[in-house]
Amino acid sequence: MRRRLAAAAAALLLLTACSGEQERPPATGGTVKIAINGWAGYEASAAVLSRLLTQELGYQVRKVPLNEAESWKGLEKGTVDVIVENWGREAEKKTYIEEKKVAVSAGRNGNKGAIGWYVPQWMADRYPDITDWRQLNKYAHLFRTNKSGDSGQLLDGDPSYVTNDEALVRNLGLRYKVVYAGSEKALIDAARRATEQRTPLLMYFYEPQWLFAQTKLVKINLPPYAIGCDARAAEVKCDYPPYLLDKIVSRRFADTGGRAYELVRNFVWTNDQQNAVANDMTNNGLNADQAAAKWIKANRIVWKDWVPS
């Protein structure tokens, strides 16, 4: 009887192997701590990385919700191993990479970032010169709200986001007040309302972002960016720079993270790929892990080379 049971078990194992199904690798005992910043694109990148670390390499992943500045502090404290999407943050790079030497860059993540001011398409159609920053004072009355008083309102997101807007308003002599919506979702809701109800809106926003595929927004032409024009934040009078987004990891993780660190370092994808996952998370009823699993299943050719052998 024992021999027959052993033979049946062996046959079952052989059948499973021949079927081409891959079981999740056994847990390695390692845990990777990934900071989660508060916008859908970041969460999409973190979700794909997390699932690949678990599914392909057998690591456990701990997601640590933090804003951008707190994430950098976490690299030093040991509560964070990985920041998946870093938007410049030159001050933090100087402090934590150059001076304290507790963090290192793990290379670009492939996303190309842009920050700017936007109005709904209908406003650009009705007021063609509104996209010239020099004409914004002429239209300030259109953007007044209870929160901005006699000034026009410039709606920003979370105060922790990368922003020069208060300095820009002041230094460009614009009769506007920066009002913080508090989150990415609040910005998106405002953009949709302004488009559907044709109400005036001037807002801070950014790419990559899935919303641009659904809602038409037009960028304001601020004074063009030139290298060094934003060196002193209090004196900035120019547009935001283009951002080649990168990944930041703790030095400890870079030194001891092994295959997990290799996967993080190899992770590079496009704005469109990020937007596809973020859109599923936000609009198609999938949670972050489900959206990541859907993308991973359909895009093996993209991610297979990220996984170290």
Predicted confidence pLDDT, tens digits, the chain (309 residues)? 334 434 444 443 333 333 333 444 444 559 999 999 999 999 999 999 999 999 999 999 999 999 999 999 999 999 999 999 999 999 999 999 999 999 999 999 999 999 999 999 999 999 999 999 999 999 999 999 999 999 999 999 999 899 999 999 999 999 999 999 999 999 999 999 999 999 999 999 999 999 998 999 999 999 999 999 999 989 999 999 999 999 999 999 999 999 999 999 999 999 999 999 999 999 999 999 999 999 999 999 999 999 998
Q: How many CB atoms lie within 10 A of CB 23?
A: 7
Interatomic CA distance for residues 106 and 124, integer angstroms: 40
The β-bridge partners of 66 are none
Looking at residue 64, its pLDDT comes to 98
Q: In the prediction, which pLDDT does 18 show? A: 36
Rounded to two decimals, the pTM is 0.83
Residues whose CB is less than 8 angstroms from the CB of residue 103 and which lie 6 or more positions away in sequence, other chains included: 72, 75, 76, 96, 97, 248, 249, 250, 251
Structure-token pair, residue 102 = 């507790």
